[in-house]
A and B are shown apart, each in its own frame.
Chain A
Amino acid sequence: MGRISRGFRGRRSSEADASRLPPGQYRVDPDFPVLSAGPTPHTPLEQWTFSIVGEVAEPKTWSWEEFRALPSEEIRTDIHCVTKWSKLDTMWEGVAIDTLLDGVEHVATHVLAFSDGDYTANVPLEDLVDGKAWVAFAFDGQPLEDEHGGPARLLVPHLYFWKSAKWVRGLRMMDHEEPGFWESYGYHIYGDPWREQRYWGD
């Protein structure tokens, strides 16, 4: 550890809500840090599609209008970034993965979410269903901003937030686990914040 800098506290919220913060996390509210591995994509809505591909009987695709016509819901949840910041009680609106997978015949056990800009994140199928995940298109009552993943991002709040792939364009259904971007380069394959699974070998 470095030498303590006299008088330095950093920009963390002083309120300690220990029971709601996973180990090693701190709150940054009201900030919402923008983290990105590349340039912000700007796919026009007329060209945007969301697809379910891979180990499925028949791939399925929605246009933006079709996607927005699906039933959606409001989600109030905490989010935890592997870089140690957390935000509590964030408000989203999105389409449940359960809704998107409704009627899709598949033999998948794992999913690789893919995004504009070649970003991917892997999640076991059981962590996306039964009300655990959404494709979110609004944050705090407003359309999701580009820099935060708009027009739509994956939202899987019970895992570290790198799994909630920004600019998501679809899910590849797989019968085996395959690491996504950060998982391939040092980050944990599963990423449970409550077991502090940040890196390989944690």
Chain B
Amino acid sequence: MEGGETRTDGNAIAGVLQEVFVREVTTSRIACAGCGNVEPIGAEHAYTQAPGIVLRCRNCDTVLLVVTQAPGRNVLAFPRSRWIEIATD
């Protein structure tokens, strides 16, 4: 990982999020508590080259979700997201 931007998007964390939510959530909309912007998770900015995964609002960079993984458990944190809307198909 020499140089370059470390940013990808919510598609890159679809697998990890499915571990946590036990379903696909990249089409689920998430609301930013920083600027109010609402986007599908797949469209938001994701940083995966880190001790955990950080999902940031693509409009204002506010941290929406953080996922950290340790043996035997995942922690899902919602630092500054207001809600996530998940389809019940």
CB contact under 8 A between A36 and B49, given known A186-B68, A186-B70: yes
Total interface residues on B, CB under 8 Å, equals: 23
Inter-chain contact A34/B68, CB cutoff 8 Å: no
Residue B63 contacts which of A31, A83, A118, A162 (CB distance < 8 angstroms)? A118
Is chain A's interface secondary structure helix, strand, loop, or mixed overall?
loop
Is B47 a contact of A186 with CB atoms below 8 Å?
no
Q: Of A35, A39, A147, which one neighbours B3 at CB under 8 angstroms?
A: A147
Most buried by B among A37, A40, A187: A37
Q: Contact between B52 and A185 (Cβ–Cβ < 8 Å)?
A: yes
Given contacts A185-B66, A185-B68, A199-B68, contact A34 B3 (CB under 8 A): yes
Report the Cα distance A117→B77, complex, angstroms.
Answer: 18
Q: Is B56 an interface residue (CB 8 A)?
A: yes
B87 at the interface (CB under 8 A from A): no
What's the minimum C-beta distance from A37 to chain B, rounded to whole angstroms?
5
- Number of residues of chain A lying within 8 A (CB) of chain B: 24
- A33 at the binding interface (Cβ < 8 Å): yes
With A118-B63, A187-B68 known as contacts, the answer to whether A33 contacts B49 (CB < 8 A) is: yes
Q: Which of A166-202 contact B (CB under 8 A)?
A: 182, 184-187, 198-200
Contacts of A10 in B (CB 8 A): none
Q: Identify 23 residue pairs between A and B in the complex whose beta-carbon atoms are under 8 Å apart, listed by A's number.
A: A33-B49, A34-B1, A35-B6, A35-B50, A36-B50, A37-B47, A37-B63, A38-B47, A38-B54, A38-B56, A38-B61, A39-B7, A81-B51, A118-B63, A147-B3, A162-B51, A185-B52, A185-B66, A185-B68, A186-B70, A186-B77, A187-B52, A199-B70
- The 5 lowest CB-CB distance pairs between A and B, nearest first, are A186-B68, A186-B75, A199-B70, A185-B66, A185-B77
